[in-house]
Structure 1
């Protein structure tokens, strides 16, 4: 059975008590990977150090892009941040709202307008939404439109649905594209499996 929102369906099933299912991630560059749905609901103490550090560095009004079940937004909201979680999955947004994230909305990052933020949070390789390297410039252009002066980007390098393009970018490539779009790129933490946390700031 195919659906256009497999993640949303899985998150909704989990939230009503069906906790045994897994999402199968199919990729042209690696073996199929089974991901437990509870991964999207982990409490802060079970998150990797890189994710915890990213949350510590958030400031001001936060846009959580590709928020899924909203696990990072829930933590930030409890800390008193004004957080705006977005996801293209309607089911994910339903789950986030049921968890008290009333600012959650279904939205495409590249189509956002009329709001400014102090932190753009992209967890789980969130820059992958670019799909292709050629779209990375557009990512930074949109970030420039959405960020307040002195704002920052925190980037952490995750039923059958349709295939889609997902971009994996290394730190050096990210830094090159950041520089040519007027952003600094600072390595904050590196993990053992090529993952990294980077902070990007405009005009610094």
Structure 2
């Protein structure tokens, strides 16, 4: 398991239908832990002879744009790198969290939930977690599992485990505990 308390991963998603129709250029490239962001032709200054590239380094840089690409990273690899680390931390007694951040349409839901044919982090973590607790219970070890599944959007916190018909009225409050720090009420 990694000694880092926080790991950061970035994942390039496939182009959307709109981006394909607009013939949008691919401006990202992943090289190991680096993500390279190239300026588009609209951003290039007239007379500039060198292409401008910004490089960002993360714990993981995943290329999931095109499955035919040799360095394509499927859902299973994301789980092996990130999900298993979270599970190991939890089984060692630490609180564990997976936090997906990005603008609407950036691929958070696919990475977290996936599809039936390509399950994401959450179903894989849950399946592995409960498989492991069942095998542990055979050794007379007991487990207590608590999970929260929340969305923070437009500065509102919502419980995603509530039924859909209660979703609109479901606005949770973030509070500050004097000893334990911030928490979500209820």
Task: State the TM-score, normalized to the length of structure 2.
Answer: 0.28
Task: State the TM-score, normalized to the length of structure 1.
Answer: 0.27
Higher strand share: 1
* Rg larger in structure: 2
Higher helix share: 1
